[in-house]
């Protein structure tokens, strides 16, 4: 009995625009990792309809059950709710040993000082990945060779390394060292378990441009510094959790209290969050149970529908699990396709969308779009006379010009019909 491991995640009733969150209300849920059930939830609101109407009339509000339970800024709501829920568990005699949360809040330090100094923190896998990726993109301004493709490759390496080394701090630390060398063709720190280059030094890199290792030494220095900094937090990367359960619960709650509508002014919001939580814990039949409890008919059809909905949800979940791998591969395929199309379009159209583009010194009259190619290439059938023997070879190149001139400059007058299969589609 080592105490509870809980996942906490909060959400606001208004979509955050990245920096300033000014939502009038927010909720937070706590899910146990073992049971997958919601242990507790909490709602904070800064607004009360009764008080507001009285304010407008410049009168004192009539006695009411005021909805306001938060005065501070919206960002601090989540921290307050987490502390409230954890201390409630502690008071009930259930010690909370580990908490899984995203990296965005300063919750954990507050929890340690207020509730339990020994509480452990796990970061959410997806948030950690997202932060690492945006850090990599921030190096792009300085290092031109750090293209989208290279970042995708580094991302893949990091993700793989981190998930392989869960619970192994040492492994994470070594992994970061290896990743700072491996893409540059140095495999001294690589493990033959995951790096096939150890045994085949000349093997091509499938996901790097032209299949060759990176050569930019300035970039390597930058990456080495970056990974050295990450190494100091290897404990964090060795123990990752996931707040996915809460995110799916937040979706359910958002279906009960859509963000486009305003429920924060009354207790309606609390009830709607509670409905979402009940649906997560007991399934759709919660409606009948509530009806029964308040002395109403549970509803024959309501019960039937609830059973059907629960069955559908279970089926959907089973399909999702079975198809997870296939779906992921397809998703990556589609993403690669989209990136390719976008890249060629961006080159022709110029940068259109980028933060602060309207304030930078781009003269609109100078912008000229490169027209789309008029005729797209198509394949023509090749007729080979019976007297000659066709030779097929793969040029492995995107530029045809040089290869052809080399062949004909050599004045090797061989009657060769060349049929080339161009694998790479767009050269950038």
- Please report how close the Cβ of residue 27 comes to Zn ion at its closest, in angstroms: 19
Footprint of Zn ion on residues 48-77 (CB under 5 A)? 48, 50-51, 66
Closer CB to Zn ion, 204 or 314, in the complex: 204
Q: Do 150 and 183 meet the contact criterion of CB atoms below 8 Å apart? A: yes
Kindly report the backbone phi and psi dihedral angles of residue 70, in degrees, each rounded to the nearest multiple of 5, phi listed first.
-150, 130
Q: Distance (Å, rounded) from C-alpha 98 to C-alpha 168? A: 18
Q: Distance (Å, rounded) from C-alpha 262 to C-alpha 374? A: 52
Other C-beta atoms closer than 10 Å to the C-beta of 103 total 14
Size of the site for Zn ion (CB under 5 A): 9
- Please report how close the Cβ of residue 426 comes to Zn ion at its closest, in angstroms: 28
3-33: buried (b, 16+ CB within 10 Å) or exposed (e) per residue?
A: bbbbbbbbbbbbeeeeeebebbbbbbbbbbe
| Residue 127-166 contact track with Zn ion, rule CB under 5 A, x = bound | ----------------------------------------
**Under the criterion CB under 5 A, does residue 195 sit at the interface with Zn ion?**
yes
Q: Distance (Å, rounded) from C-alpha 274 to C-alpha 277? A: 5
- Please report how close the Cβ of residue 43 comes to Zn ion at its closest, in angstroms: 15
Q: Which range of residues in 10-18, 176-184, 202-210, 331-339 is near Zn ion by CB under 5 A? A: 176-184
**Helix or strand holding residue 121 (H, E):** strand 120-124
Match 């259930």 to its residue by tokens. Answer: 94
Exactly one of 79, 125, 182, 280 binds Zn ion (CB under 5 A); that residue is 182
- Please report how close the Cβ of residue 243 comes to Zn ion at its closest, in angstroms: 32
The two tokens of residue 137 are: 């993109």
- Please report how close the Cβ of residue 186 comes to Zn ion at its closest, in angstroms: 8
DSSP bridge pairs for 241: 124
Closer CB to Zn ion, 65 or 360, in the complex: 65
- Please report how close the Cβ of residue 160 comes to Zn ion at its closest, in angstroms: 12
Closer CB to Zn ion, 193 or 359, in the complex: 193
Q: Distance (Å, rounded) from C-alpha 224 to C-alpha 105? A: 28
Closer CB to Zn ion, 51 or 151, in the complex: 51
- Burial (CB < 10 A; 0-12, 13-18, 19+), residue 173, is buried
CA-nearest of 122, 137, 152 to 226 is: 137
Q: Which range of residues in 92-100, 181-189, 225-233, 301-309 is near Zn ion by CB under 5 A? A: 181-189
- Please report how close the Cβ of residue 52 comes to Zn ion at its closest, in angstroms: 8
Q: Which range of residues in 153-161, 192-200, 327-335, 338-346 is near Zn ion by CB under 5 A? A: 192-200
Other C-beta atoms closer than 10 Å to the C-beta of 252 total 15
Q: Which range of residues in 29-37, 174-182, 294-302, 360-368 is near Zn ion by CB under 5 A? A: 174-182
Q: Which range of residues in 44-52, 299-307, 337-345, 383-391 is near Zn ion by CB under 5 A? A: 44-52
Closer CB to Zn ion, 125 or 182, in the complex: 182
Closer CB to Zn ion, 139 or 194, in the complex: 194
Closer CB to Zn ion, 90 or 177, in the complex: 177
In order of 66, 361, 384, 407, the CA distances from 102 in angstroms are: 31, 38, 64, 59
Match 């490169």 to its residue by tokens. Answer: 370
Closer CB to Zn ion, 48 or 273, in the complex: 48
- Burial (CB < 10 A; 0-12, 13-18, 19+), residue 199, is exposed
- Please report how close the Cβ of residue 205 comes to Zn ion at its closest, in angstroms: 10
- Please report how close the Cβ of residue 60 comes to Zn ion at its closest, in angstroms: 11
- Please report how close the Cβ of residue 175 comes to Zn ion at its closest, in angstroms: 11
Q: Which range of residues in 43-51, 141-149, 216-224, 298-306 is near Zn ion by CB under 5 A? A: 43-51
Exactly one of 197, 231, 233, 236 binds Zn ion (CB under 5 A); that residue is 197
Q: Do 298 and 291 meet the contact criterion of CB atoms below 8 Å apart? A: yes
Q: Distance (Å, rounded) from C-alpha 178 to C-alpha 160? A: 13
* Contacting positions for Zn ion (CB under 5 A): 48, 50-51, 66, 182, 187, 190, 195, 197
């Amino acid at each position: 009995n080592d105490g509870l491991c809980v996942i906490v995640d909060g959400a606001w009733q208004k979509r955050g625009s990245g920096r300033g969150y000014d939502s009038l209300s927010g909720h937070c849920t706590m899910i146990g990792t073992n049971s997958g059930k919601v242990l507790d939830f909490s709602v904070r609101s800064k607004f009360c309809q009764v008080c507001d109407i009285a304010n407008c009339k410049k009168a004192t509000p009539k006695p009411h059950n005021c909805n306001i339970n938060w005065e501070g800024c919206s960002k601090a709501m989540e921290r307050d709710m987490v502390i409230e829920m954890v201390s409630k568990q502690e008071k009930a005699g259930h010690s909370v040993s580990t908490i899984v949360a995203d990296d965005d809040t300063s919750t954990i330090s507050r929890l340690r000082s207020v509730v339990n100094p020994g509480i452990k923190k796990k970061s959410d896998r997806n948030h950690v990945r997202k932060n690492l990726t945006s850090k990599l993109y921030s190096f792009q301004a300085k290092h031109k060779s750090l293209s989208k493709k290279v970042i995708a490759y580094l991302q893949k390496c990091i993700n793989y390394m981190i998930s392989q080394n869960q619970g192994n701090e040492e492994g994470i630390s070594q992994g970061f060292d290896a990743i700072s060398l491996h893409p540059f063709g140095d495999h001294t720190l690589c493990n033959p378990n995951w790096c096939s280059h150890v045994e085949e030094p000349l093997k091509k890199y499938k996901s790097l441009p032209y299949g060759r290792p990176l050569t930019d030494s300035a970039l390597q220095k930058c990456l080495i510094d970056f990974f050295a900094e990450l190494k100091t937090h290897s404990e964090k990367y060795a123990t990752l959790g996931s707040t996915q359960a809460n995110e799916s619960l937040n979706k359910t709650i958002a279906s009960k209290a859509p963000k486009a509508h305003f429920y924060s002014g009354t207790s309606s919001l609390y009830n709607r969050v509670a409905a979402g939580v009940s649906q997560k814990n007991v399934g759709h039949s919660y409606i009948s149970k509530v009806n029964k409890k308040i002395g109403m008919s549970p509803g024959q059809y309501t019960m039937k529908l609830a059973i059907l909905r629960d069955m559908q949800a279970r089926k959907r979940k089973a399909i999702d699990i079975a198809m997870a791998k296939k779906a992921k591969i397809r998703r990556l395929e589609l993403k690669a396709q989209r990136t390719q199309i976008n890249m060629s379009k961006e080159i022709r159209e110029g940068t259109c969308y980028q933060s602060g583009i309207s304030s930078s010194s781009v003269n609109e009259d100078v912008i000229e779009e490169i027209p789309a190619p008029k005729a797209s290439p198509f394949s023509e059938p090749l007729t080979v006379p019976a007297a000659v023997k066709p030779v097929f070879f793969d040029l492995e190149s995107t530029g045809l010009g040089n290869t052809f001139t080399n062949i004909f400059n050599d004045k090797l007058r061989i009657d060769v019909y060349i049929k080339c299969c161009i694998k790479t589609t767009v050269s950038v």
